[in-house]
Amino acid sequence: MRIVFVSPNRLLHDQWNKAIENNTKISNIYFEKEIENFNFLEEDIILFDYDNLNEFLSFALKGRVLCLSSKLDNINGFKLLKQGVKGYGNNYMTPMNLKEAIKVIKSDKVWVNPDLMKFIIENSTLSKLVKYDDKIDGLSQRELDVSKFVSKGFTNKEIAQELDITERTIKAHISTIFQKLQIKDRVTLGIMMKEYLNS
């Protein structure tokens, strides 16, 4: 796997670099001409500076793109996901959050910030992605509780605080929920839960 940084801003390259393991191969792209000539691969994870290079996004979409912007906009983020980006977040998110986003995208799932996730779930009629699935009836009460908080856009840490259990336990519940419902990401779970609660 290769990580590709795409931004004319060298400070962003430095910031992103803090989230990357030492043994990971990184390719740095600074200029528009380089984007046009670069051979993006399907397995690449691409950190893309949307603020400065949005008109060149189509070149990068061959790989798994994490679109980063300092002016986050939920409608724009939603459109980008429909175009095929695998994630949408802040250019200057903490290295810990960026590492988590990369990990999610690496496992072929979609990563979005909590605000956008809440927006997608609330406006799920826009997406027509998922309908309520009767497999939800097979969740335990605790798994149902966790799922409801996910559908409200809560993070694992926030859910753990609400339910007074460890974050690790929340992760285990979410993993089981994904298996039972045969889904891969929190956005899909959130939309399913919205359908379930409204059915």
Q: Are residues 88 and 181 in the same domain?
A: no
| Domain boundary residue, one of 108, 137, 154 | 108
Q: Tell whether pTM > 0.85.
A: no
Q: Is residue 18 part of a domain?
A: yes
pLDDT at position 124 is: 66
* Alpha helices by DSSP H, the chain: 10-17, 32-37, 50-53, 57-60, 74-83, 95-106, 114-122, 124-127, 141-151, 156-163, 167-181, 186-198
Predicted confidence (pLDDT) per residue in 132-169, tens digit: 567 888 899 999 999 999 888 888 999 999 999 999 99
- Residue 84, SS3? coil
Q: Are residues 74 and 157 in the same domain?
A: no
Percentage of the chain lying above the pLDDT 90 cut: 61
Q: Are residues 89 and 184 in the same domain?
A: no
Task: Find out whether 186 and 111 touch, Cβ atoms under 8 Å.
Answer: no
CA distance 145 to 135: 15
Q: Are residues 7 and 91 in the same domain?
A: yes
Domain ranges, residue 126 = 122-198
Count structural domains, the chain. 2
Q: What is the CATH number of the domain that holds 167?
A: 3.40.50.2300
Q: Is residue 172 part of a domain?
A: yes
| Domain boundary residue, one of 43, 77, 108 | 108
The gap from C-alpha 37 to its chain's centroid, in whole angstroms, comes to 27
CA trace torsion 57, 58, 59, 61 (10° rounding): 90
